[in-house]
């Protein structure tokens, strides 16, 4: 056997080992994110999905249904396994917790989101963020095929977050 064969063989073996190590690291971070979400709100994790955010980072988005029926969404840093954002989804903008905080209505929030991301609105959700802010979460299907998740502050009308939604 010649040296080129061994170099090729070793290169392939190292690539396989590296891919395995990355998969193990990803599984460990996903488990850390699951645990962190369940420590915040006890319940059943109904979805966990890896996502890229606009700034180039990666997160896990975790949907959890709490024992009391509340719907929670967690965003967990894929590198550290720490929850970076949590929010509770409410059934409508008229829910007392949301209505007490909103200063703009849904129609105005839709207009604000569409000025930044042109397209068709597929869904609007009403959420209370971890800092107590009420937001309209607006899902827009853009003309170039992207689905954008745009959060509009229900009190100020400012876009506070926007990222690609891969649902």
pLDDT 10s digits, 31-58: 889 898 888 888 899 999 998 877 778 8
> pLDDT tens digits for 129-160?
888 999 999 999 998 888 999 999 999 999 99
The pTM assigned to this predicted structure is: 0.61
Dihedral angle, C-alpha 40, 61, 151, 130, nearest 10 ° = 10
Tokens at 67, concatenated: 């024992």
C-alpha 49/C-alpha 57 separation (Å) is 14
């Amino acid at each position: 056997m010649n040296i080129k064969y061994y170099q090729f063989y070793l290169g392939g073996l190292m690539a396989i080992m590296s891919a395995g190590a990355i998969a193990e690291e990803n599984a460990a971070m996903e488990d850390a994110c699951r645990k962190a979400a369940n420590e915040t709100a006890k319940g059943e994790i109904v979805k966990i999905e890896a996502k890229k955010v606009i700034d180039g980072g990666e997160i896990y988005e975790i949907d959890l249904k709490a024992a009391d029926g509340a719907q929670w969404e967690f965003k967990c840093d894929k590198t550290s396994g720490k929850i970076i954002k949590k929010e509770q989804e409410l059934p409508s903008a008229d829910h007392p917790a949301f209505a007490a905080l909103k200063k703009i209505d849904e129609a105005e929030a839709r207009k604000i989101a569409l000025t930044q991301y042109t397209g068709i609105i597929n869904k609007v959700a009403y959420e209370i963020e971890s800092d107590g802010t009420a937001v309209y979460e607006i899902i827009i299907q853009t003309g170039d095929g992207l689905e954008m998740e745009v959060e509009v502050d229900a009190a100020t009308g400012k876009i506070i977050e926007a990222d690609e939604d891969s649902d």
